[in-house]
Every structure is written in C-alpha cells, then in structure tokens.
Amino acid sequence: MSKLTGRVAIVTGGGKGIGAATALLFASEGAQVVVWDHAGTSPAEGIAGRATDVTIGADVAAAVDEALAAYGRIDILVNNAGIARDAQLVKLKDGELVGKMSDDDFDAVVSVNLKGVFTCSQAVAPVMVRQGHGRILNAASVVGLYGNFGQTNYVATKAGIIGMTRVWARELGPRGVTVNAVAPGFIETDMVRAMPATVLAAMAERTPVRRLGLPRDVANAYLYLASDEASFVNGAVLSVDGGLVIGT
C-alpha cells in the first residue's frame, strides 16, 4: 500500500520547486493533494490548485472550508510557501552608510515566511485535533540554524519557524497532531539554477556530499514525516543539506 493512501494534504507554495516536488510525490503515494499558491498554480493534472494568500486569515479560512467541503478532512499541512528579499543590515563605505535592509523587505519576508506559517497552521490545526490525527510540516532552513550573511529577515523567519515548530509539538502532540520541520541546504530550484556556474560550483564544493540537493530530496523528507513511519517523531528539525555547515 502507498504511504499516504486516504490522506488529504495541503501544500502551500506548491506551484513550483520544492513545493511542486512534494505535491507530486504525495499524490504518487496515494494522497489527495491541494496546492495553495499565490497564483493558484498546480504542478500536474489531478492535483487541485487554489489561489491563496497565506498571510490573510480570511483567505486561508475560506481555503480550509473548501478543502473540507471537497474531501471531508485535512490530514497533512506542508507550510512550504516562502520568499527572500536579501540585503545587509547596514552597508558602509568609508564609514558612511550607503545601504541597508528596507522596512518593506523585512516586513514582506516576515509576513509570508513566518506569519503565513502561523496563519495556515492555526486554521488547519482545529480540523486535525477534531480528527485526532494530523501532520504539520514546516519549511525551515539551515540558515535558521546557523545564520547567513545578508539574510537578516529570512534567517529570522526560519529560526522563528523552528521555535514555533517546537511549541506546537508540545501543544498539539497530546491531541494526535505531530509538528516537525525540514531544514534544506542548497537545493537546485529554478532560482538557484539561474545563478552563474561558478557560484553553483562553489555551493556544491561547500557541501560535503559535493552536490546540490534536488527538490525531490526535500520532498522525500516531507514524505517520511507525513507517513505513519514517523508517528513517534515530533518537534524535530530534519536537516536535508548534504552535511552543510553555513559559513560567511
């Protein structure tokens, strides 16, 4: 039997990259998958797509109602949606301030990456508690564990996600809902593949297994955590990074 037969899964940001790979893998393992994506994009026929803004509570609540009306339950939530707006905290030249991270860029990343996870989880958790079963899986990052140059906002959100994961594991675990996070390293998404070849080579060289990760590598981690095989895993942060230790 497939690992997710009879399960209903929500994947945010599932139109491309890691989210799309996760949605496709879950569907191949028997799950009924719904993608919540800002553009409503679905990665394949047979996978439902809904245009959803994960930062707006009313929009997420409506998406939950639609999923319940269509499928009667929600078993898995993968909080994958995220954005990056990189800049240094302050940039100085000859002692003079020449640049800094803007308030707008800080707020945008926090809104999607952190508040979005909070909003979606808060909307779906009551459904799972009533069912007595559920899996909430959050997209963290190795930078949330080790920091990274020029990513104050992004790192803050990923570290915050790790903290929320551990809180919710304590709060929801007794109600049959496990909460875990996955912390990817350098993953070969469309955005990464657009980088210069020299940069890609340097990223691979910094990774002990000497390659970039693939979206399927992260999807496989989500599949494990979503399955019954991980029923005793709760509050964990699973690094999928080829042994990478972030440096500056």
Q: Which of 76, 157, 73 is nearest to 121 (CA)?
A: 76
Name the DSSP class of 210: S
Measuring CA to CA, how many Å separate 197 from each of 4, 13, 193, 194, 210?
38, 27, 8, 9, 15
Instruction: Look up 222 and say whether it is catalytic.
Output: no
Distance CA 35, CA 136 (A): 15
Catalytic annotation, pick one of 146, 154, 222, 224: 154
Bridge partners for 35 per DSSP = 11, 49
| Phi and psi based region of residue 211 (left: phi greater than 0; alpha: psi -120 to 50; beta: remaining) | beta
N- to C-terminal Cα separation, the chain = 45
Distance CA 176, CA 107 (A): 34
Distance CA 239, CA 182 (A): 6
Active site residues: 154
